[in-house]
Amino acid sequence: MKRSIFLCALFFLLISVAQAQKHSVDFYKETYRRGFVTLHSDTIPYQKTFFNEFPSNFKELKKLYGWTEQTTYGRTLTYVPPYYFTRFFEIRCVSHKALTKKIIDVSVNGVWVADAIALFQRAATNYAIAYNKEFIKELQTRSKADAISVWAFYCDYESPYYRKEAYDKLVKATAPNNKKMVELITAGYKKAATRWKKH
């Protein structure tokens, strides 16, 4: 009995250590440095680790790159996104399908936040336009609500001009590949417009 309790406690301890390491900002920074800055023979495994450690959803992205609304204080990586995001969107050591999936995962339920999140939003929108067929194919595996939330994030601008510009570019890229998806883009565009009316 004591042995099984000990093994159980050890298991939970290892899980908590693994979780702490996964979400350690220092570990994340170090994988970036070793994967992209100090180029050695072991850079590819670090690039893969960097990709795996990159946030998997919008909540995690905001936790690393967003702002603390109450104090308007930048979070841990708010000021370094241009470097990290450039490497993330151009990563070659993982499949394009895996990259597309992760971009969509992070974009679901996303909303515009100044600086870093806005940079991710623009880069993701450009990716959805540049690799539209692949992006649409992956997005079709998601629920209608998730797809609309992705398009709403990509059209989420306070300025109606920028919102409409993003919408027009997305429709232009998507219409030749999937006309039904244009309806979801339009729904996302309207959702983004409604959000800003409430602000």
Residues 45 and 99 grouped into a single domain? no
Residues 30 and 61 grouped into a single domain? no
* Of residues 104 and 18, more confidently modeled: 104
Q: What is the mean pLDDT of residues 83-104?
A: 92
- The mean pLDDT value of the chain amounts to 84
Residues 170 and 102 grouped into a single domain? yes
Where does the pLDDT of residue 81 fall: very low under 50, low under 70, confident under 90, or very high at 90 and above?
low
Place of tokens 């609309």: 148
Could you give the number of structural domains in the chain?
2
Residues 20 and 97 grouped into a single domain? no
The parent domain of residue 20 ranges over 1-53
